[in-house]
Amino acid sequence: MGSLMRSEQMVLCQLFLQSESAYSCVSELGELGLVQFRDLNPDVNAFQRKFVSEVRRCDEMERKLRYIEREIKKDKIPVLDLGDNPDAPAPREMIDLEASFEKLENELREVNSNNEALNKNFLELTELKHILRKTQQFFDEHERSLQADAQEALVHQDQLEQQQQALHLGFVAGVILRERVPAFERMLWRACRGNVFLKQAQIDVPLSDPVTGDEVWKSVFIIFFQGDQLKTRVKKICEGFRATLYPCPESAAERREMAMGVMTRIEDLKTVLSQTTDHRHRVLVLAAKNIKNWFIKVKKIKAIYHMLNMFNLDVTQKCLIAECWCATADLDKVHHALKRGQERSGSNVPSILNRMATSQKPPTFHRTNKFTKVFQSLIDAYGISSYQEINPAPFSIITFPFLFSVMFGDFGHGFIMFLAALWMVLRERQLQAKKSDNEIWNMFFGGRYLILMMGAFSVYAGLLYNDIFSKSINVFGSSWSVPSGVYFFNDSVDNWLTSATLEPSPYHLFENKSGRYYLPYNETTSSFSGSPYPFGLDPVWAIATNKLTFINSFKMKLSIILGVVHMMFGIWLGLLNHTFFNQAINIFCEFIPQVLFLSCTFLYLVVEIIYKWVSWSAREPNLDTLTGCSPNLLIGMINMYLFTGGQYNNTLDPITHTNYTCSSANPLFGQEGEFVQKFLVIIIAVCIPWLLVPKPFLLWRRGVSKKTSNRHIQAEGDIIGDREEIIHHDHLQISDSNDDAHEEEESIGDIVVHQAIHTIEFCLGCISHTASYLRLWALSLAHGQLSEVLWSMVLKIGFTMNTGYFGAVVIVAAFPFWACLTVAVLLAMEGLSAFLHTLRLHWVEFNSKFYKGEGYAFEPFTFEHLLDDTPVE
């Protein structure tokens, strides 16, 4: 809890590593993941560093592995992920890895090239087979048509024979993509002016493209023409449409003989292709077993050399010098890691780890686990806490789900949310192993413990609100009772009581079908038993006519109480920061006036609310002074700032005991409280200049004193002057990160403007932030009303039907619709809305009271992120 409350104490270390053991030492530190290296060569180009050639070799190995990975995915071979985490290979093993990857890549490329050539040959033979088959059908149809024409014209047989001998047509045959046939036919007709005859037929089965492997649909065509000019023109058109032409013999015997040869070659090619595919598959299966580990090894090697590029070489070129941030508590682990690295490398020279004294701002490092990580992430999204600043994360573990539950208080909805998060928690190992790419799922799964807490707190808030899917449960018995024997004028049914307003006042409003009546307080007409409901809200309020009036007033005041307490807690946390950093000026010039300002304004309002709840009773009014009316807090606050006191001004008809009127100007504490209120207003007025003036003046005086002391130091001599120059140089290096020094160097005008903005922001923020906490009441009201509307407009319809089985059918039909809307609207949308409002209350209203968030995160060199980013899944 200590490191979560404040960041770990960090130390800047200097490492001296021998060139032979530097690789192994950095590898061990990467496995440990506890040091953040600094770049000692920020001005050196990435291509001019010492180990740039090794990084390029790693890039080349990654390229080869990505090629192998694509081939594995192309064959849909599963990659086994056993969760292994191999150590980073030694530098001498890098050569073996390169040779293995080179051999595997060349083998795959050769196999793919041969396979592509075989597939192309197979495609050509397949197309030729279809051409021979289809052209034979064309010629057979043509011969049958000629025989039919000859039988019909036997008289002109001699003339036909002469025409056939004189007319000799040439032809070409080939295949073309099916979608290009219409355009191809039009182009032939136009270019050849109708002097060619085209015959085409579709291939019934799809063919495989040898390059892409996609299925394509093609058609066989044969074109008849006469003359060499048309032949040349037809071939050019075929070439333009990327049609493939094949030789086709003129005689049927030659075509049959060629077809038989083609079939034989196709069978031989199928055998060769099968053997080639099996060999390729075996190679890829072996690669799939190791490619995960190969990726990890290469990434580790690349990360190590990237870190080594950030180091400096000493004068002898035999030692590497590095600087790193490390937690003080982890120095022993770092020492052991360096020792293991030295032993792995076989070096006899130990590595040296020295602490460095520096004034630079260290990084912020909070140790978290799987439970606290999500809460820390919410705070880091607002801003990384300054070094050893109070961290709001441990407090948000309670306050965040609690404020969420105030807005989302429903037992049923909270229980569903709790069960969903509990399922993710119980099965987190199996779900983590799947490594889903769905960002929305990963976001919900990462916040499973936060959702679990929000669901549990919502269940508790739902019990307090006595709200379960907008319905209330009577567990302990209601403390209210409606008088059943009250009637008016006569005993007719029309005059019996139909509703009653629940109000523990001396006069109760009852209503029947004849009108509204006021009855004075006595034992027979009182509807309140005098003892409150044991736990939570009385269930009778669910059916009361003044339900919203009571619940809104209660939740509004509760929101103010929670908001003021939350903000006051934030201000007191600021005191811990001021004390820890020895900022006495901030304690006396910021903390004390801030506490007084908030206490005299809204903490006093909280006291009034609680005092009114506890001490003010309407059950026993004073009929002489009519002091039983509770005062209006808003009017009382206005009177407080206007210095106008209130007085009792209530009226009652003494004869009929009706028309009982309460004055809103009744004082809460009586006439004696006016002096206290005036004193509080005076304190408020004093706090504003208290925040504005003293701190700039004290900072200015401290700056003047420092300049005076610097002048005395400069006059002491050359040696002291040299020392001052060194100190000044160190101060310039850290001026960007040292806030105190930055404040001291500011001019008086900048300090005054900064403090004026801070004062205005705090004073106005107290008012606006207090009003902002009313969102707790508003979101709770909206959630309750949406739930009630969804119940009454969907599921209640079936329960109110008096049609027997038909009502049950309606309930069964409406339940899925009601359940889907409940999950989509009330759990998802309303839950997200309540989450965002809770996040705003923590970021703006709470954190602004003490949290600066001006630090930078501790980003250690670790191989853990490399395992998560491995592309193979």
Rounded CA separation 620/599 (Å): 32
Tens-digit pLDDT profile for residues 417-475 = 999 999 999 999 888 888 788 888 999 999 999 999 999 999 999 999 999 988 888 88
pLDDT band at residue 516 under the 50/70/90 scheme: very low
Say which amino acid occupies 77.
I
CA angle 499, 503, 504 (to 5 degrees): 130
801 CB contacts (<8 Å, ≥6 apart)? 807, 810
368 CB contacts (<8 Å, ≥6 apart)? 4, 376
- Residue 869: pLDDT over 90: no
* Spatial contact of 478 and 531, defined as CB atoms under 8 Å apart: no
Tens-digit pLDDT profile for residues 334-377 = 999 999 998 888 888 888 999 998 888 999 999 999 999 999 99
Average pLDDT (56-75) is: 92
Say which amino acid occupies 752.
V
Tens-digit pLDDT profile for residues 229-265 = 888 888 899 988 988 888 888 777 888 888 888 888 8
Check residues 404 and 618 and name the one with the higher pLDDT. 404
* Spatial contact of 27 and 300, defined as CB atoms under 8 Å apart: yes
- Residue 2: pLDDT over 60: no
What pLDDT sits at residue 844? 93
What pLDDT sits at residue 160? 46
What pLDDT sits at residue 211? 77
* Spatial contact of 244 and 235, defined as CB atoms under 8 Å apart: no
pLDDT, mean over the chain: 81
Q: Is 804 helix (H, G, I), strand (E, B) or coil?
A: coil
CA distances from 538 to 466, 473, 542, 544, 613 (A): 7, 9, 8, 11, 16
* Spatial contact of 480 and 526, defined as CB atoms under 8 Å apart: no
CA angle 129, 131, 133 (to 5 degrees): 70
DSSP state of 256: H
- Residue 413: pLDDT over 50: yes
Rounded CA separation 404/146 (Å): 91
What pLDDT sits at residue 523? 44
Tens-digit pLDDT profile for residues 636-670 = 788 888 877 655 554 544 444 444 455 555 566 66
> Measured between alpha carbons, how far apart are the two ends of the chain, in Å?
36
Lowest mean pLDDT among 115-124, 335-344, 586-595: 115-124
589 burial type by CB count under 10 A (0-12 exposed, 13-18 middle, 19+ buried)? buried
- Residue 228: pLDDT over 60: yes
Q: Quick one: tokens of 304?
A: 């190590």
* Spatial contact of 533 and 479, defined as CB atoms under 8 Å apart: yes
* Spatial contact of 680 and 575, defined as CB atoms under 8 Å apart: no
Residue for token pair 């307003």:
501
What pLDDT sits at residue 839? 95
CA distances from 124 to 248, 333, 372 (A): 13, 67, 65
Tens-digit pLDDT profile for residues 729-765 = 343 343 344 444 444 456 788 888 988 999 999 999 9
Q: Quick one: tokens of 750?
A: 């900048």
What pLDDT sits at residue 645? 62
- Residue 585: pLDDT over 60: yes
- Residue 164: pLDDT over 60: no
* Spatial contact of 33 and 327, defined as CB atoms under 8 Å apart: no
> Could you give the percent of the chain with pLDDT greater than 70?
79
* Spatial contact of 457 and 410, defined as CB atoms under 8 Å apart: no
